[in-house]
Amino acid sequence: MTSTDHIDWHRLHRITPVLNAWKVAAGLFAVFVWQSADQLGELDLAVTTLLLIIAGVVVLGALLGLGFSALAWSRTKYGITEDSILLHSGVLFRQQRHVRLDRLQTVDVTQPLLARFTGFAALKIESAGGAGSNLTLAYLREDEAQRLRNELLARAAGVRMETDEAGVQHAPAAPEMHLYTLSPGRLVGSLALSGGIVTMLVAAVGLVVIAVVTENLSSVFAMGAPLIGAAAYFWSRFAGEFSFRVATSPDGIRIRQGLLESKARTVPPGRVQAVRLAQPPLWRFKGWWRITVNIAGYGAEETTGTVLFPVATEAEAAHLLSLVHPDLGDDRPLEVLRAGLTGDGDQEGFQHTPARAWWLDPLTWRRTGVRMTGTAVLLRTGRWWRSLVLVPHERIQSLGVTQGPWERKLDLMTFSIHSTPGPVTPMVHHQDAEATSLLLAEMTRRARNARRSAGPERWMTPAEEGSAALHEGGGFGGVLPSRVVSSAGVLPASPRAMTDDPGRMAP
């Protein structure tokens, strides 16, 4: 049903212009204050007159915003077909955006503060078209947004709709299993132990000391702006990652977060392109890891959307990793993972920077390394700022090697995996040249096989005939498909599933 004749068009909720108008008003107010604060100060007016002028500007701005938003609202409509979601919008420049549901990457239900109080929500559908390729439905009633989310995910997954007596189609609700909640204490602790806060406090104390000693406040004013910027950053981290919760459902991983603005994000299976577990130096005493992911369509500018879990212990991190990549493709997944997280040298089959290059990386040469498993590549870097990157074979976009003059002298190479834009850049420096060319050839082969046997984009439809057979013949026979598809949907993987699986063979 791709023709637009039979589409049931819907409007956004009538409250939309009101919720949008205050933004216009706030924007106008800010611009007004910014532009004319000086002139107003010089006019030498009474305080009441000044307040009246400002109030007038705000009311005018709100009315203008309301008018424009109402016009925009009246020209906006959306509809859902069997395989796409459509949004027609725009007053002067009309836009018709059609997003194919099999290309859907994530679905977010976001609630800015005002919408949260009034029970409304925005629905954001991310497709893989790069930054700015999302489709946003703002605003809908909260329950309507959730119903729509379920329907979109069910349609994207290829689940059949249930039709009730009245002939209305319903998406079966996806059962959800709650996994982890980030406690406020751990969030505050993690921020306090991140290098930034320490630097900021030292800088602030230093400034006060300088100001007291020199009896001059100019240094405080000079450094004030960067400090406020840093404080704003930490506030946004705190508010954005407050009450971070992760759950699993057949629709994928569901992430909820936010102190003021709440966000509920659903990442369907197979949408994560690369995972990174990172640990700043002070976090190692607590054994905490920050897990970020690359998801096509988000791009590098999105900061909160790419976090899978802000602060996880090693066991939680292993479990969360098993959700996005259920099968590590090795007999000893936990040992391999631990060697990648905290180990060094060649334990558990990691290949690292050869000893002859110790003077290029005096601290990190034993740590900088690669390990290929049956289903993914692990890249280990950093001695103080530890980091482990995982890229599933079927998500490799392309591979690259580079060699500078020093590397050529020492017979080394820098190896990188090209992933979609995001916070994770899989790359290791100074690997042995011959080992790297072998790695490159083998990884190319495994990526080729993994692509052929990759699960369907519509994750609930059965895999195509023959793909399993191809997988068997792919050189790592016996390894389970990376997604366990059953009639009940994707089975939530547990840490047990990572360890107790006798059916695997070493690659």
Partner 1 sequence: MATMSSGSAFEVDGAQWQSVSPKLVPVRQIGVAIGLGIPLVASVVVAIFTTPAVWAAPAVFGILLVWLLWLVPRQVRAIRYAELEDELLIRKGVLFRSMVVVPYGRMQYVDVDAGPIARSMGIAQVQLHTASAQSDASIPGLPEAEAARLRDQLSARGEARLAGL
Q: Can you give the binding site for partner 1, defined by CB under 8 A?
A: 103, 105, 128, 270-271, 273, 296, 354, 356, 394-405, 408, 411, 413, 416, 418-421, 425, 432-434, 436-437, 440-441, 444, 447-448, 451-452, 454, 457
Question: Cβ 485 to partner 1, closest distance in Å?
Answer: 15
The Cα 204–Cα 261 span in angstroms is 29
Closer residue to partner 1 (CB): 327 or 394: 394
d(CA 180, CA 186) in angstroms, rounded, equals 13
Q: How far is the CB of 374 from partner 1 (least distance, A)?
A: 19
Looking at residue 421, the DSSP 8-state letter turns out to be S
CB of 124 to partner 1, least distance (A): 18
Based on the number of CB atoms within 10 Å of its own CB, is 93 exposed (0-12), middle (13-18) or buried (19 or more)? exposed
Q: How far is the CB of 467 from partner 1 (least distance, A)?
A: 12
| Residue closer to partner 1, measured from CB, 273 or 375 | 273
- Smallest distance, Å, CB 222 to partner 1? 35
CA angle 394, 417, 483 (to 5 degrees): 20
**What is each CA distance from 452 to 69, 145, 374, 400, in whole angstroms?**
48, 36, 15, 21
Q: Give min distance, CB of 254 to partner 1, in A.
A: 21
Nearer to partner 1, 136 or 403 (CB): 403
Q: How far is the CB of 457 from partner 1 (least distance, A)?
A: 5
Residue with tokens 């007038």: 56
DSSP characters for 228-251? HHHHHHHHHHHHHHTT-EEEEETT
For residues 18 and 417, which CB has a smaller minimum distance to partner 1 in the complex? 417
What's the min distance (Å) between Cβ of 125 and partner 1? 15
Smallest distance, partner 1 to C-beta of residue 416, A: 7
Nearer to partner 1, 78 or 459 (CB): 459
Under 8 Å CB-to-CB from 329, ≥6 apart: which residues?
373, 374, 375, 376, 476, 479, 504, 507
3-class SS at 328?
A: coil
- Looking at 459-498, which runs of residues are DSSP E strands? 485-486, 489-490
Q: Select 270 or 423, whichever has its Cβ closest to partner 1.
A: 270
Of the pair 129, 189, the CB lying nearest partner 1 is at 129
Nearer to partner 1, 303 or 449 (CB): 449
Which CB sits closer to partner 1, 7 or 435?
A: 435
Q: Which is nearer to partner 1, 35 or 398 (CB)?
A: 398
Cβ-Cβ contacts under 8 Å for 50 (sequence gap 6 or more): 40
Residue 220 Cα distances to 201, 208, 231, 294, angstroms: 13, 7, 15, 39
The residue type at 433: A
In sequence order, the β-bridge partners of residue 372 are: 377
Nearer to partner 1, 392 or 507 (CB): 392
Question: 320 with 291: CB under 8 angstroms?
Answer: yes
Q: Rounded to the nearest whole angstrom, what is the least distance from the CB of residue 453 to partner 1 in the complex?
A: 10
Looking at the DSSP bridge assignments, the partners of residue 326 are: none
Q: Which residue number, 342 or 414, has a Cβ lying nearer to partner 1?
A: 414
* Residue 88 burial class via C-beta count within 10 angstroms: exposed 0-12, middle 13-18, buried 19 and up: middle
How far apart are CB 297 and partner 1 at their closest, in Å? 9
Sequential DSSP letters for 286-311: TTEEEEEEEETTT-TT-SSTTEEEEE
Q: How far is the CB of 439 from partner 1 (least distance, A)?
A: 11
Write the single-letter amino acid at 159.
V
Distance CA 223, CA 217 (A): 10
What CA–CA distance (Å, rounded) separates 483 from 492?
A: 10
Q: How far apart are the first and last CA of the chain?
A: 45
- Cα distances (Å, whole numbers) of residue 93 to 17, 89, 275: 18, 8, 39
